[in-house]
Structure 1
Amino acid sequence: MLAYNFGEQHPMHPARLELTVRLARELGIFDVPEVSLGVPFVASDAELELVHDAAYIAAVKAVSADPESTREDIGLGTQDTPVFAGMHEASARLAGASLAAADAVLSGESVRAVNFGGGMHHAARGMAGGFCIYNDAAMAVQRLLDGGIQRVVYIDVDAHHGDGTQSIFWDEPRVMTISLHESGLTLFPGTGFANEVGGPDAQGTAVNVALPAGTGDAAWLRAFHAVVPQLAGAFAPEVIVSQHGCDGHATDPLSNLQLSVDAQRQAALSIADLTTKLCDGRWIATGGGGYNVASVVPRSWSLLMAVAAGVPLSPSSAVPPQWREYVLERYGKAPEFMGDGADTWWRSWEVGYDPNDAVDRTIMATRKAVFPIHALDPWFD
């Protein structure tokens, strides 16, 4: 999976995956009896065509074979998403990992599955963008639908709007996409506002919480809990698929949110709780963005895997000394603890709405746009 590599200077450096594996292994997550490790396969053209146009796949193959060429008209060869040799196979392998996760859940082999190398949520049917070539999360959702699942909720907590996934399921009433992200007024891709609620045949199945720049833990968690549990409960999914981009962290260079690893862990715990309540625990989690490669990404996704494995780690736990020494040697700086020592308390929506608070106004805009469609009261439910 490390072959998904846009170059040494690109923010999405594969070292973030290598460091995550190393940390998870030293934390003992892979040794939990209920945990198994699967080998990702390269998705076939037919599997990629679950959500991508055949002409687009052919274009990816062409630039993959000739990395001197570009197709900027469909997002291939841009500054964000440069072309590299072997791009097709590397991207299709990330996609295959999420398909394998979906297959494991469909067969009953696993209740929960994590592909932290996935979460390529900006890729649309015929367009690359935002470091994303093939949308593995959307492919997992479609695989579930094709396997007989009737309703899927997709929850995206990346700092950037999950525009590709939303566009793929824009008119699909069996899928609800919920994206909690920094507002498109200040961040790529410039979409994901409250009035984007789904196509004519799927009104109310696209949900967007566009948070102002500078939003911190308490407000972010307040927004999550004011929107996600209510809508997920109303939609009654059989499986939840989630995208856990950790680029909303305060130290991430590519967003303006102010989140902690502790809050990102709390979101994973809340999603796990929703899966237990709503769909017999069935849950597929992916990674996504995250560009503080050495410090934030490995901790956030290791904590995610621990939650999924049923052995949640405390944020106050020390990072394993061998991992810390390795990171110190390579990067000159390493975290001491799994969390940031942040307070993850949030003010419940039920205690009142503050019209002078920008986050509360964002929450209300989303609730007003979507809640009535699902017979939920935007003010009090």
Structure 2
Amino acid sequence: MTSSASAPVWIDNAASKRYRFHDDHPFHPIRLQLTEDLLTACDALKPEQMIPASSKSIEKTIRRIHRSDYLQIVKELSAAAPPRSAIEQAARYGFETDGDTPYFPGMHEAAAAVVGGSLAAAEAVMSGRAPHALHLGGGLHHAFPDRSSGFCIYNDAAAAISWIQERYGAKVLYIDTDVHHGDGVQWCFYSDPDVFTFSIHETGKFLFPGTGFANERGVSSGYGTCLNVPVEPYTEDESWLDCFSESLSLLMRSFKPDVIVSQHGCDAHAFDPLAHIHCSMRIYREMPKRIHRLAHEWTGGRWIALGGGGYDHWNVVPRAWGLLWLEMSDHPLLRTIDAAADGGQLPPDWAARVASDRRPAELPRTWLDDPAAWTPMPRRSEIAARNREVLEIALQHLG
């Protein structure tokens, strides 16, 4: 494993944009296009920074995570006219036409392309071609070996981690910042002492998938290499970042990873319609900054970042993912944003090039929010105190 290269790479999301359930589904690829357009408008994303998704070893790697019968049913349901036998079994494998993860024509090819993008990111970093790589089309962390779940068909994050282990024998730290617990990745490596899974999320007491509690710490030889920090609904920036930073610093010293794989769902924002956390864009500036610093401190800079959830497509996702890329690429615009009293101005009309009748009448004008302008959150101190109690329980096994 080397890290001699200095320029991060962006994995071309063209193939991942085929991962599309239907126009009214919250998991929509317009998020990818809007992010790319915002970064292009800022002169922060250039063609020479992009590399294509991998076309090698995709199915072989998928089979390391997913059962053969599941892979077969995904392929059958991907047909324009699936066989009746496949349709009759669809619900057993997590596919329901009126559910979270409906099957659609070409879904095997689309989901495999997502895996290919995450494998390309892993290969770029582990080979030394780049210190960091970003694949925003990835981060489908809910898929299980035998079923789809929560908009996720193939678990590209788990596949990339498995590939890294097989090819390099590396110790992998997986960081999940999605508001929903990173359950699929956790259970794939729950007994593996060489993969540490860390997830900060809204507590499963109130939110899908209903897991990710502080007592989930791994089993057998993997005990102690799983950390969950479930926070209370309406958690705000300070409490979220305190929990995140303290956990990350402690587990780094305990685990000493060779590489970081991070999932950057951006649905813990106050505007997101599918959760109850009340954070601002500040956490999406700070979390990548802290991961970046620790990557250079502990892993020789090796950092693979993936996308994930985020369902306010216009107001939140482009800014959050844009800030992630600006941090990974150490773009000078970040210093302007950090120094700006107004949160840093966005390019005017940056979203105008995306044709959509769903574009809001008003879009954010700054990179960062002004939470002081929001209605104050009741029970702020009680929520922060409860999060501190849970954090202390979660960290007990790390010493």
TM-score between the two structures when normalised by the length of structure 2: 0.86
Alignment partner of 1:38 is 2:51: yes
Q: Which amino acid aligns with 1:76?
A: F
| 1:313-324 correspondence to structure 2 within 5 Å | 313=334, 314=337, 316-324=343-351
Distance 1:280 1:229 in 2: 16
Give the secondary-structure state (helix, strand or coil) at the position aligned to 1:180: strand
- For 1:159-201, what per-residue CA distance to the aligned partner results, in whole angstroms no more than 9, with x for missing partners? 0000000011111110000000000001000000011111212
Alignment partner of 1:361 is 2:389: yes
Distance 2:58 2:154 in 1: 12
The residue aligned with 2:7 is none
Q: Conserved in 1, the CA contact under 8 Å of 2:269 and 2:280? A: yes
Q: Conserved in 1, the CA contact under 8 Å of 2:227 and 2:395? A: no
Deviation, structure 1 residue 355: 11
Give the secondary-structure state (helix, strand or coil) at the position aligned to 1:179: strand
Give the secondary-structure state (helix, strand or coil) at the position aligned to 1:50: helix
Deviation, structure 1 residue 66: 4.8
The residue aligned with 1:173 is 193
- For 1:33-70, what per-residue CA distance to the aligned partner results, in whole angstroms no more than 9, with x for missing partners? xx620112456321211211122111110111156626
The 1:196/1:129 distance shift into structure 2, 3 A limit, reads same
Q: Conserved in 2, the CA contact under 8 Å of 1:141 and 1:241? A: yes
Q: Which amino acid aligns with 1:335?
A: P
Alignment partner of 1:209 is 2:237: no
Moved more, 299-308 or 311-320: 311-320
Distance 1:337 1:237 in 2: 36
Q: Which amino acid aligns with 1:364?
A: E
The residue aligned with 1:350 is none
Q: Conserved in 2, the CA contact under 8 Å of 1:106 and 1:147? A: no
Give the secondary-structure state (helix, strand or coil) at the position aligned to 2:160: helix
The 1:61/1:38 distance shift into structure 2, 3 A limit, reads same
Deviation, structure 1 residue 221: 0.3
- For 1:113-165, what per-residue CA distance to the aligned partner results, in whole angstroms no more than 9, with x for missing partners? 00011100001111110000011111111111112243110000100000000
Q: Which amino acid aligns with 1:36?
A: Q
Moved more, 149-158 or 70-79: 70-79
Aligned match for 2:362, one of 333, 352, 355? 333
The residue aligned with 1:292 is 312
Q: Conserved in 1, the CA contact under 8 Å of 2:170 and 2:259? A: no
Q: Conserved in 2, the CA contact under 8 Å of 1:60 and 1:76? A: no
Distance 1:59 1:255 in 2: 31
The residue aligned with 1:349 is none
Deviation, structure 1 residue 324: 4.4
Distance 1:325 1:9 in 2: 21
TM-score between the two structures when normalised by the length of structure 1: 0.90
| 1:124-143 correspondence to structure 2 within 5 Å | 124-143=144-163
Alignment partner of 1:55 is 2:69: yes
The residue aligned with 2:19 is 4
Q: How many percent identity over aligned positions?
A: 39
Distance 1:66 1:141 in 2: 32
The residue aligned with 2:218 is 198
Deviation, structure 1 residue 367: 1.2
The 1:41/1:107 distance shift into structure 2, 3 A limit, reads closer
Q: Give the aligned length.
A: 360
Give the secondary-structure state (helix, strand or coil) at the position aligned to 1:49: helix
Alignment partner of 1:235 is 2:249: no
Give the secondary-structure state (helix, strand or coil) at the position aligned to 1:219: helix
Alignment partner of 1:263 is 2:283: yes
Deviation, structure 1 residue 11: 0.5
Q: Can you give the 5+ residue segments of structure 1 that lack an aligned partner in the other structure?
A: 344-352, 377-381
Give the secondary-structure state (helix, strand or coil) at the position aligned to 1:82: coil
Aligned match for 2:94, one of 69, 75, 78? 75
Q: Which amino acid aligns with 1:317?
A: G
- For 1:203-229, what per-residue CA distance to the aligned partner results, in whole angstroms no more than 9, with x for missing partners? 011110011111110100011122111
Give the secondary-structure state (helix, strand or coil) at the position aligned to 1:357: helix
The residue aligned with 1:95 is 115
The 1:197/1:11 distance shift into structure 2, 3 A limit, reads same
Q: Which amino acid aligns with 2:344?
A: S
Deviation, structure 1 residue 322: 3.6
The residue aligned with 1:123 is 143
Q: Can you give the 5+ residue segments of structure 2 that lack an aligned partner in the other structure?
A: 1-15, 373-380
Q: Conserved in 1, the CA contact under 8 Å of 2:36 and 2:45? A: no
Q: Conserved in 2, the CA contact under 8 Å of 1:194 and 1:210? A: yes
- For 1:90-131, what per-residue CA distance to the aligned partner results, in whole angstroms no more than 9, with x for missing partners? 011011000001111121111100001110000111111000
Q: Conserved in 2, the CA contact under 8 Å of 1:114 and 1:284? A: yes
Q: Conserved in 1, the CA contact under 8 Å of 2:239 and 2:384? A: no
The residue aligned with 1:15 is 30
Q: Conserved in 2, the CA contact under 8 Å of 1:184 and 1:191? A: yes
